[in-house]
Every structure is written in C-alpha cells, then in structure tokens.
Structure 1
Amino acid sequence: MLKIIGLVILLSFAFHTQAQTTRCDSLGALSWLVGDWSSKSSKLKINESWKKISNQTYEGHGETYSIKTDRVVSAETLRLVEMSGEVFYFAKVASNELPIAFKLISCTTDTVVFENSKHDFPKKLHYQRFASNKMTVTVSGEQDKGFSIDFITE
C-alpha cells in the first residue's frame, strides 16, 4: 500500500511540474508579451510594445525618454521569430549596423530567457511576468552585470 501511495505522490509531482513548464519551440509561450508596457522613474520613461504579426512573428518597439530633456534618448526595433522549432529575439539598435539575435534557451508559463553568449552586451534577456499586467525585464552581461526594468500594462 505504501508503494502505491508513493507512486501516486511521485506522479502528481511529475504532472504538476509538467504543467508549470511550457514548450519553448513556439511563440505561443510568449503570447503574454503582446501589448504596451511602460516603466517610469524620476529620470526616464521606458516603453516596450509588442504585437502579433503571425503565429511565427511578433514585432516590437522600445523607446527610452528622458523626462529632463523631454526627448527620446534611445530606441530599438524588436522581433520575435519562430524558425525550425526554435524561437529567436532580434534587437536592432542604433549602435549596431545589423540586428543582434538571441536564442530562447528556457521558458515557463511566466518566464522566458534569451541568450547570445558571443555578444558583448547584453548576453541575456530575461522576461519575468508577475501578474497579467506586471513584468520585469533583466538585461545582463558578464558576471550577470546589468539592469532590470519593471513594466506595467493596462
């Protein structure tokens, strides 16, 4: 009887863990990103927007505004693409001639991590959803040096 109870407990943990993880080979795991996200501090206002173009492509745009100077200080064009059973994050910024590609390396229901270990900075992009309207994006490089941005959406 104890063996049966142990087996039931083991199986329930296995199914619970499986329910928490998400397949990382399609954009379906990232559908919660779609929308307009914003962050504001005393110095900066940051916006990131995502829209679904197709089942294999999301397009995004990010802008950072200086509140003091009332102007855009940086902007980037973003794209998520599903190709051959993998997902890639492309970021085009003014300082790079070509877009930089990051591969989706892990995901759960509320977390996605993209990585390009050969890029100077950043090397990782970590998106973490905390509620339907709250997420944190952590941008990191060598020895996890970087920064985080807390976003909300309406």
Structure 2
Amino acid sequence: MNNKLLILAALLLFIGACQNDPKTSANESSSSEGPKLEHLDWLTGNWQRINDDEGRKTYESWKKVSNQEYRGFGYTLAGEDTIFKENLNIVFKEEKPNYVVTGVNSAPTYFEFIGQDVNAFACTNPENEFPKNIEYIYQNDTIFATIMGGANSIVFVFVRDDY
C-alpha cells in the first residue's frame, strides 16, 4: 500500500511539474507537416505486464505510424482465452495530443495530454467514469502505466517482450 501511495505521489508531482512548462509541449513544430509527437519512441515495441493477477497475462504492443501518430494494442489472457482487448492510439485532436482508447466502449474515449517529458506523459479525461487519468513513465527499460480515478488506481508494470 505504501508503494502505491509513493508512486501516486510521484506521478502527481510529475503532472504538476509538466502542466505549465512550455518545454514539455508535445505539439510544438518546426516544420510544415504540423504538430509532432516527440519523445515517445521508448513506447514502441512489445511489452508484457509483470505484476498481473495469477493466471493472467497482459500485453501491450506499440508502433510509431508517423510523427503525428503512435498505434497500440492491449490485451489480457486468462489461460488461452482473451478476456480483454483494446486499441490504443496517440494522435492529435484539435492540435493537442490525445491518448485514445477504442474497442472497449461504443465510442472512442479521448484523454488529453496534460504533461510530457522525455520519459513520461500524463493525460486526463475528467468526464470518463474510470479512469480519469492515465500516466506512463519509462525507466530502466520498464514502463509504469498507471490508471487513476477517484480513490482507485491500478499500476501496470511492463517489461519488453521480444516474442
């Protein structure tokens, strides 16, 4: 429990530090091709969750489509059965980067970026029931992805999976 509180506190500090820092803006562009997503190449590849519930295996796979889009797919297996799957995209909506989840609800769910630096990003959708916030932190070839809403949070710890 103390580890969850420590991680949550660190993530909240990260969000606060990134919100007003113009250097962390992901939509700055120096070319005519429009806004760019920067500092997200660490996300690309295949990832396996290492803190899953017993009997389950969760995976995410990400690829860079262009300077304006990353595309991912996440799924969870119980034995050999797929019990959860989602399509993930990081794209621009109205000139702002968004983390977009499809395949879970009838309509896409958009989470607007509120902070980003070289090894992390945070996004929010206060209207969504759960989660309201999503954060990814990349450290030592490990991704710590946290989903939060109200008093609830879930931390997903992913390591590279070269299958």
TM-score, length-scaled by structure 2: 0.73
Mapping for residues 85-124 of structure 1, pairs under 5 Å: 85-94=95-104, 96-124=105-133
Q: Does 1:129 align with 2:138?
A: yes
Deviation at 1:31, TM superposition (A): 1.8
State the partner residue of 1:17: none
- Residue type matched to 1:121 in 2? F
Cα displacement (A) at 1:27? 1.3
- Corresponding letter in the other structure for 2:127: K
Larger Rg: 1
Pairwise CA distance, 1:83 = 4.2
Matched, 1:150 2:142: no
Amino acid at match of 1:44: R
The root-mean-square deviation of aligned C-alpha atoms, in Å, is: 1.6
The more displaced of 82-91 and 30-39 is: 82-91
Given the alignment, which residue of 8, 23, 26 partners 1:24? 26
Q: Supply the distance in 2 between the matched residues of 1:84 and 1:90 (Cα, whole angstroms).
A: 14
- Of all paired residues, the percent bearing the same amino acid is 28
Corresponding residue SS for 2:42: helix
Matches of 1:23 and 1:121, distance apart in 2: 25
TM-score, with length taken from structure 1: 0.77
When the two structures are aligned, how many residues end up with a matched partner?
A: 129
Runs of 4+ in structure 1 displaced over 6 angstroms?
none
2:48 to 38, 60, 66: 38
Give the number of the structure whose residues are more often helix, by fraction: 1
Letter aligned with residue 81 of structure 1: V
Can you list the C-alpha shifts for 1:17-72, whole angstroms capped at 9, x where unaligned?
A: xxxx63322311222111111114432111101111111111110001113xx211
Partners of 1:140 and 1:43 lie apart in 2 by 24
Which runs of 5 or more structure 2 residues have no equivalent in the other structure?
1-22, 28-35
Alignment partner, residue 53 of structure 1: 65
String of CA shifts for 1:102-150, please: whole Å, max 9, x gaps. Answer: 001001221100100011011011101112x21110011113x121110
Higher normalized contact order (CA 8 Å, seq sep 6+, divided by chain length) = 2
